[in-house]
Amino acid sequence: MPELPEVETVRRQLEEVIPGWTITSVPLAEPSMLRGLGVRDFERRLSGNSFSLPRRHGKFLLLPLSGGFWLTVHLGMTGRILVPTGPRSRDPHDRFVLALTRDGCRAWFVFRDVRKFGRVELSAGTPAPRVAGLGPDGWTGVWDSGYLARRLAGRRAAVKALLLDQHILAGVGNIYADEALFEAQILPFRPAGSLGPEELERLAAAVRATLERGVRALGCSISDFAHVDGRLGSMQQELRAYQRQGQRCERCGGTLERTIIAGRGTAYCPGCQV
């Protein structure tokens, strides 16, 4: 599933191609993406709007339009955005398609999603309401170890489960949670409220550092547009904990183990994470 670095990579790719294109029609929109509007009404609202600079919060892509509308995109497990020019090539997994024009040229905004967990939502004035309930962005947001201390205080849930909670920090998923806890040398099943100030400092720094590494690795490895298809690019070679159970710990030489936390496979080193 795409996490913050993967979504940031898509945002940067979109930033290169999408600003300035104007929506002319809505050739395809699944009912779940219309939020109760008829497709003609949806089309009437969107037509004539042009895209400006894309933003991101956590795992959500936020696409502001010139008319005050927003498209909020969640890629789910397999969602991809493509902006092909020329005649439209149809695909059975296309869920949402906009026809675009700029300087007499035509293009398409295509949301393609094989497993259907992704979503495109239209809203007026602000991004989709569920974005407002998210915690600060894990990479670029304003938060620190003091914020973590306040949010984790007294919580008996596993620290990893709370790192995955998008209401606390937005953008951290299974990969980067395992990596950050490994880097901070904290066991993933520790009760969140048991972490001391120094551990919280280490954890805060590790979350930002691992997300940063992810953004850098994915940004370098992806050359053509919209590659959010589950590949990790060169990040795969940089992973030190995620799915490395049974392998040697590069820090202490011990063997990484696996457990389940919040329903997610979790790898950790019992030798050097405490």
Query: Environment class of residue 150 by beta-carbon count within 10 Å: exposed (0-12), middle (13-18) or buried (19+)?
Result: exposed
CB of 273 to Zn ion, least distance (A): 7
Q: Which of residues 238-267 bind Zn ion (CB under 5 A)?
A: 249, 251-252, 254
Which two structure tokens, joined as six digits, stand for 244?
Answer: 């490395």
Q: Which of 5, 11, 43, 59 is catalytic?
A: 59
Q: Which of 3, 6, 43, 179 is catalytic?
A: 3
CB atoms within 10 A of CB 83: 19
Count of residues of this chain found to bind Zn ion when the rule CB under 5 A is applied: 7
- Give CA–CA dist 16/21, Å, rounded: 12
Options 84, 191, 219, 271; binder of Zn ion; rule CB under 5 A: 271
Q: Could you confirm whether 3 is annotated as catalytic?
A: yes
- Give CA–CA dist 88/126, Å, rounded: 30
Q: Could you confirm whether 257 is annotated as catalytic?
A: no
Kindly state whether residue 100 participates in binding Zn ion, applying the rule CB under 5 A: no
Kindly state whether residue 269 participates in binding Zn ion, applying the rule CB under 5 A: yes
Across-strand partners of 65? 51
Q: Which of residues 108-127 bind Zn ion (CB under 5 A)?
A: none
**Residues with Cβ within 8 Å of residue 148, at least 6 apart in sequence:** 168, 195, 200, 203, 204
Nearer to Zn ion, 149 or 272 (CB): 272
CB of 182 to Zn ion, least distance (A): 8
CB of 41 to Zn ion, least distance (A): 57
Nearer to Zn ion, 102 or 240 (CB): 240
Q: Which of 2, 54, 127, 188 is catalytic?
A: 2
CB of 110 to Zn ion, least distance (A): 44
- Give CA–CA dist 155/165, Å, rounded: 13
Q: Please say whether the dihedral angle defined by the alpha carbons of residues 216, 218, 219 and 222, taken in this order, is positive or negative.
A: positive
Q: Could you confirm whether 59 is annotated as catalytic?
A: yes
- Give CA–CA dist 209/204, Å, rounded: 9
CB of 249 to Zn ion, least distance (A): 3
Q: Phi first, then psi: give them for residue 148, nearest 5 degrees.
A: -60, -40
Options 37, 157, 205, 272; binder of Zn ion; rule CB under 5 A: 272
Kindly state whether residue 38 participates in binding Zn ion, applying the rule CB under 5 A: no
Q: Phi first, then psi: give them for residue 12, nearest 5 degrees.
A: -65, -35
Residue in the block written with tokens 């040697």: 248
Side chain identity at residue 131, one-letter code: V
Q: Could you confirm whether 121 is annotated as catalytic?
A: no
Nearer to Zn ion, 67 or 254 (CB): 254
Q: Which of residues 163-192 bind Zn ion (CB under 5 A)?
A: none
Contact 73, 120 (CB under 8 A): yes
CB of 266 to Zn ion, least distance (A): 15
The catalytic residue positions are 2-3, 59, 264
Residue numbers of the site for Zn ion (CB under 5 A)? 249, 251-252, 254, 269, 271-272
